[in-house]
């Protein structure tokens, strides 16, 4: 199984910033280990907004220490770029034109109240933890996401 961690930026990254993140993450995953075992790690920067880390746990299992290493690295990326990657109160969704938007929790609640966002609005469920779920359960209508319990 491929394990997945999704980190959403507080803003869209520029092409130059994506290049910086790519360089940092390429070096990191090439050296990412758990108890001396090389992890089969990979990454992706998707939509200039999400950093997705993956590890194929059939080759080597991640450990608390290896996860801590990745979190430490992402904190370094935050400081380098001046963004937040750990603010779970920012919600990414697709507007009526299917463009990705970012809203604070309060802004998102106002959009729901105004009817601009409804149960069919596509949101990004950054809580997924497997590559399979990334494919099937990441970009989904609110009605199928945890967002429905919070906002409807």
pLDDT at 59: 85
Supply the angle between the helices 15-31 and 64-81 in degrees, to the nearest 10: 160
Contacts of 101 (CB under 8 A, 6+ apart): 92, 93, 94, 95
- SS3 call for 68: helix
- SS3 call for 122: strand
pLDDT at 24: 96
Q: Tell me which residue of 99, 102, 103, 93 sits closest to 142, measured CA to CA.
A: 93
- What pTM value is reported for the model? 0.93
Q: How far is the C-alpha of 136 from the C-alpha of 87, rounded, in Å?
A: 24
Q: Where are the beta strands (DSSP E) in 21-99?
A: 33-34, 37-38, 41-46, 50-56, 90-94
pLDDT at 61: 85
> From the first residue on, what is the mean pLDDT of each consecutive set of 10 residues in the chain (152 residues)?
96 98 95 86 97 91 90 96 94 97 96 96 96 96 93 88
- Spell out the domain ranges in the chain: 2-81, 90-151
């Amino acid at each position: 199984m491929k394990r997945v961690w999704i980190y959403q930026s507080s803003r869209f990254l520029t092409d130059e910033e994506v290049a910086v993140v790519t360089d940092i993450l390429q070096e990191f995953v090439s050296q990412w280990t758990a108890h001396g075992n090389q992890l089969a790690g990979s990454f992706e920067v998707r939509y200039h907004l999400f950093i997705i880390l993956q590890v194929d746990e059939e080759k080597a299992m991640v450990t608390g220490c290896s996860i801590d290493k990745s979190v430490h690295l992402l904190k370094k990326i935050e400081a380098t770029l001046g963004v937040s990657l750990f603010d779970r109160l920012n919600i990414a969704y697709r507007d009526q034109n299917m463009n990705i938007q970012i809203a604070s929790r309060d802004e998102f609640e106002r959009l729901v109240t105004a009817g601009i966002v409804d149960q069919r609005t596509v949101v990004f469920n950054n809580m997924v933890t497997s590559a399979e779920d990334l494919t099937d359960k990441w970009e989904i209508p609110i009605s199928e996401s945890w967002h429905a319990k919070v906002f409807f």
